[in-house]
Structure 1
Amino acid sequence: MSKINPFKPNHPVSPSMFVGRIFEINALEKSLFQTKNGYPSNFLITGERGIGKSSLLGVIKPIANGEVTSLNYEVFNFISINLVITPRTTLVVLMQLIEKALKRKLENIEKAKDFLNNTWTFVERIKTLDSKVEKTKSSDRLDLIIDDFVYFLAEICKIITNSENEQEPKDGIVFFIDEADSSSQDLHLGYFFKMVTELLLQHGCCNIMFIVVGLPNVVEKLTLSHESSMRIFNHLVIKELSPEYSCYAVDKGLEIGNKINSKITTITSDAKTLISTLSRGYPRFIQQFSYSAFEFSTNGEISTDDVNKGVFVVGGALDIIGKRYYYRAYNEQIKSDDYREVLSIMAESMNSWVKKSEIHDKFNGADHVVTDALKVLSSKKIILKNPSKNWEYRLQYKGFALWVRLFGEREKLYSTDVSM
């Protein structure tokens, strides 16, 4: 009988499978408490793709909504607004998305719903200005749009938090904004957040919180839009899980699987340690390696052999991760095997700084090839130059470095075609 594979390499894990991130959860819960009591605190959450940012949001959202009790505070009762930024999101589109989300959330709060329906007409008025904003990038026009937006948002928040309402008052509004790194320059995202947060306070609205999530390059985008925009955020950088939590993630997955499958699946201690070691604490690797090992297990117990096969065979976990995340950087953007060799040498140090001389010493070809490779890879932002030291470089993302390393190990373990 076939089994349901409980691991989720393609999606954020559910709160029931979530492990670790205690510091981050505590910090976000504290900010919810602060915002509820009139001391708003905003967060920017950054990390590599697949590191678990969206999974962390999946834990915090039900806490903010009151569906799950906080670890350290009383039950919260915020209205949560979920938004995803795309390269096509303009300022007007963003406000329209907020309007639609608010209408859904305020359906049962008559006074707030009536206010929204009767006064949120400014979005309609500025639709005709949208193209002009894009063309002129006029800061005064942006200011007018944002000023109207903040006024109405502040009034709605005051209505829903008013203890004299017939309905139970809300704690405030939390905006969960994902994929912020996808924002275009025309969205003026940093400028938007800086102006909105300042104007909300001027309107006496102190119960709105922004939690913004994105890849590390979102910091640069925010700063280019407004050099002071980062000052309004507490910045959480999501790192890899510890070996203990990596093993616990495997256990949690199997625990859930054993609840839904009629036949029990176990894992040897060595196999679990191997998944933890190979994954280096990257959630996407943990989930994919566990998923693939689960598929290779035929006797109800996942062994180290199942893990190695699941990870390294052609078409296995490494290839799946590569196609999902790294194919373009490794195959399309890099046309030379020599350049890939340079990448492999650098990946031995993960994403730590590596001296050019160290790469030269390990490279099999001519010295000028290393120079050319570093120049090309830097221009494509696959690797970064050390801004404080000459002739030092590193891979931009540790997850990519890990994948390159494991890809090289497969070539040593399996004498076969490892192309994707």
Structure 2
Amino acid sequence: MKKINPFQPNSPVAPGMFAGRQNEIDALKQGLQQTKHGNPMNFLVTGERGIGKSSLVNYIKFLADGSIKSPDFEQFNFVTINIAVSEKMSLVTLIKLIERNIKRQVGKVEKVRNFLDDTWGFIQRIRVMDSGIDKAQSSEDPDLILDELAYSLSATSKRLTSPEKGEERKDGIVFFIDEADNASSELRIGYFFKLLTELLQQDSCGNIMFVAAGLPETTEKLYNSHESSIRVFSELKIRELEVPERYYVIDRGIEEGNEKNTDQTKITKDAKGYISTLSEGYPHFIQQFSFSAFEFNDDGEISAEDVLEGAFRPCGALDAIGSRYYASRYHEQIKSDEYREVLSIMAENLNAWTTRKEINENFSGTEHTLNNALQTLTNRKIILRNPSKRGEYRLQQKGFALWIKLFGERKK
């Protein structure tokens, strides 16, 4: 019987597998504590794809709703609302999703359900502009809609924190707004957060917390929508895991696998070293390289050779990571073979700084085309420009360089 693979490269890790991020966790726990006692704090979690934003948010959600307990604080008991932003989401759609999720979470008791129907009655007057069913434009002013949203949220929060007889008391509401970088200009996400938090404050509602998560460009989208919206949040920039934290993730996965499987698995120190190096500290990549090594191994001990074979073979770890993270940058976001040639030249140095002179010496196109390529690739954040030395560029990750060398030309 084939062993159950404990590593999960395509989903946030479970709280028991979570490693690192202690400073970020401490800040978010303090935010929960402050919000519980009427002094709300809001957070913006930013980082590159695969860096572990979703796993961190998932861990905090479990803390907030009381599924796991923090050793530093009493157990929390918040209502948690999870919403993922899409590129086509409008302000009206976001508000309707908030209302729908709140009713699902706390509308099971009839008295509360009746209260919510009355409190959120304004929703019935709003027509969804992008539903595909009713294309009529809403005549509601956005400021008026947000004013009514703030009133409904405030009333709901106060009912949850000061319940009537027989109802469960809650600490408040925590909103997790994921993939905030998808927000369109029509959503006006910065305006949404800025005005809503001010209105809640004016209504003396202190038990609502917002945690927004997204790629680094989320900050720019917030600012472009409302310059002051950045001040609503404390920003937590997620970095790569340190080497001991990478080892912890690998060891926890092996331990979990051995709890589920009759046949036990070991892993050598060299194998863990290769996974650590190849992953570059990205939690998703650690999971993927570990998953592929576990799948390739057939003798109960994962070796360095297992890691490398599982990593670089077709349909292996690097191929899977590339399909999810790199292929779009290399194919869909670039329509010129000459631009891709620039990436291939840079990939020879992995993610070390490469001078424009070195690229030009190996480039088959004109100098004008090279200038356009470097400008476009930089603007699209496919490559990085050295801020302290003119004329130097690099790829963001070694993995991207390796994928280009091994699999980049396969589509052609």
TM-score normalised to structure 1 length: 0.88
CA distance in 1 between partners of 2:114 and 2:353 (Å): 58
Q: Counterpart of 2:89?
A: 89
Q: 1:142 to 1:332 in 2, by over 3 A?
A: closer
Counterparts of 1:304-343 in structure 2, within 5 Å, are: 304-334=304-334, 339-343=339-343
Show the 5 A alignment for 1:60-139.
Answer: 60-108=60-108, 111-127=111-127
Change (3 A) 1:137 1:242: farther
Q: What SS class does the counterpart of residue 83 from structure 1 fall into?
A: strand
2:130 and 2:336 map into 1 onto residues whose CA distance is 45
Question: Which residue does 2:41 correspond to in 1?
Answer: 41
Q: Quote how far apart the aligned CAs of 1:340 are.
A: 3.5
Q: CA deviation at 1:207?
A: 0.7
Matches within 5 A, 1:10-409: 10-108=10-108, 111-127=111-127, 141-162=141-162, 165-334=165-334, 339-346=339-346, 355-357=355-357, 359-360=359-360, 363=362, 365=364, 368=367, 370-385=370-385, 391-395=391-395, 398=396, 401-407=397-403
Residue identity over aligned pairs, in percent, reads 52
1:337-357 C-alpha deviation (Å, 9 max, x unpaired): 653453255457776765534
Deviation at 1:239, TM superposition (A): 0.9
SS in 2 for 1:72: coil
Structure 2: tracts of 5 or more residues without a match: none
Partner Cα distance (1:112, 1:316) in 2: 51
The aligned amino acid for 1:419 is R
Change (3 A) 1:149 1:296: same
* Counterpart Cα distance in 1 of 2:136 and 2:181: 22
- Stretch moving more, 140-149 or 165-174: 165-174
Mean Cα displacement is larger for which, 321-330 or 266-275?
Answer: 321-330
Deviation track 1:277-332 (CA, whole Å, cap 9, x = no partner) reads 11111112111111111111111111111111111112211111111221121134
What's the RMSD between the two structures over aligned residues? Answer: 2.8
Counterparts of 1:129 and 1:59, CA distance in 2: 34
Aligned partners of 1:358 and 1:161: how far apart in 2? 63
C-alpha distance 200-4 of structure 1, shift in aligned 2 (>3 A): same
TM-score, with structure 2 as normaliser: 0.90
Question: Which amino acid is 2:157 matched to?
Answer: C
Note the C-alpha offset of 1:386.
Answer: 6.3
Label 1:333 to 1:256 Cα distance change in 2 as closer, same or farther (>3 A): same
The one-letter code of the counterpart of 2:21 is R
Secondary structure of 1:89's counterpart equals: coil
Partner of 1:414: none
Equivalent-residue separation in structure 1 for 2:261 and 2:386 (angstroms): 51
- Total equivalences in the alignment: 407
The question of whether the paired residues in 1 share the 8 Å contact of 2:40 and 2:209 is answered with: yes
Aligned counterparts of 1:174 and 1:76: Cα–Cα separation in 2: 11
